[in-house]
Structure 1
Amino acid sequence: MLTPASSGTTHFITEPLTINWTSTADIGNVRIKLMRDGSEFETLASNEPRTGSFLWRIGYSDSTLGSSACSDAALIGALGGGAARRFQIRIESRSHPEIFGEGPEFNISMPTITVTQPSGNPRIGCGGTLGIVWESSGLWGDINLEAWRPGGGGPYHVIQENIDRFLGHYDWRVWGCPSVWEGSLDEPYNIDLKIRVRSTSCHDVYGESTGTFRVTD
């Protein structure tokens, strides 16, 4: 008997999903496989007891569990920016793979983060306050707030780390310019920047402000 999900349920990348199973026969240890459209997609665990429980952090391999990098590129790629359907969990005997049980079909989707403020290309003086507003769906874990220079290849300044994703609003006091701008090689004044709200659980999940802002001197 296998109880990973209800039929038609949608689960999200970074979500912890507990898989439970039992066997009344002596089938030896088992493998846990992720199936898609009736075919094997990947192996989640290769040597588990015939009755047990397994915590699957969706989008992670064992080697990266707890890091900020979602390592399951095949699964993330299969989502294609949306939801991938018709997944199932299969528990099969290692010694007799023809003996297996499958759970109901479920969907996997990427979480979304939408940054609604700032908008309208504001200009903020050092010592001023920039309001940052965001919404999220399907997100697990905290978020980081970052200022990005479009095309700059990385965060121009980390505003705040490990914020509760449900907070939804943060007032950034632009203080101490330019000394607090981590990693800056030039002055931050009059440079077009964007706000990025990024998942701490998976850096592939983020949202950006639609417009830019500038810190003015």
Structure 2
Amino acid sequence: MSEEPVRRRRRGAVLEQALLDAAWDELVELGYERLTYEAVAVRAGTSRAVLYRRWPAKRELVLAAARRKAPPVPGEPPDTGDLRGDVLALLGFIVRRMADLAPVRSVLAAEEGQGTDLSVYLASRNRGPGADAMRTVLARAVRRGEVDPALPLPDRLVSLPVVQVLHELLMAHHTPSEGDLEEIVDLLFLPLVMRADAGLT
């Protein structure tokens, strides 16, 4: 007589991954308004109480799922040989990959004007690999003489291009064109960080 297989209880990161994957799948299939804790719990094979303990509000659950699904910025950002090319390449990568997060745009639209959850989401993205990649890009520019090494580079300045692109994507519901990215880089970012004698055009 064969023994019944032992059912292992999921905990920690394994359980959280299953919950967030289930929440994302429900969001993609049904949309934000029709998503329910009960459906997510059934899909994940757990109880609603488990979900509520971690994410008391539906928007918190969905934004947590979005953070998990958000495509990572490459650890080594593009190296085109100059600051302008590097920033444009990095922003272009973000725009292309963020298309995978299209379902969450409706969530953010529903939350527009409340700000708190959206601010947390954007801050979590900009303090992570995105900010690290932009600092790498700027460090290269310093070595090439494009950026003054004595120039203060606070986090708000470093993340400015990414924040602007995310605003376009997630709040304005607009996918920036190549011209839009060039405007962000040429008119907003480069004048703040490049040396006047570094050939900014």
TM-score, scaled to structure 1: 0.28
TM-score, scaled to structure 2: 0.29
Greater helix share, structure number: 2
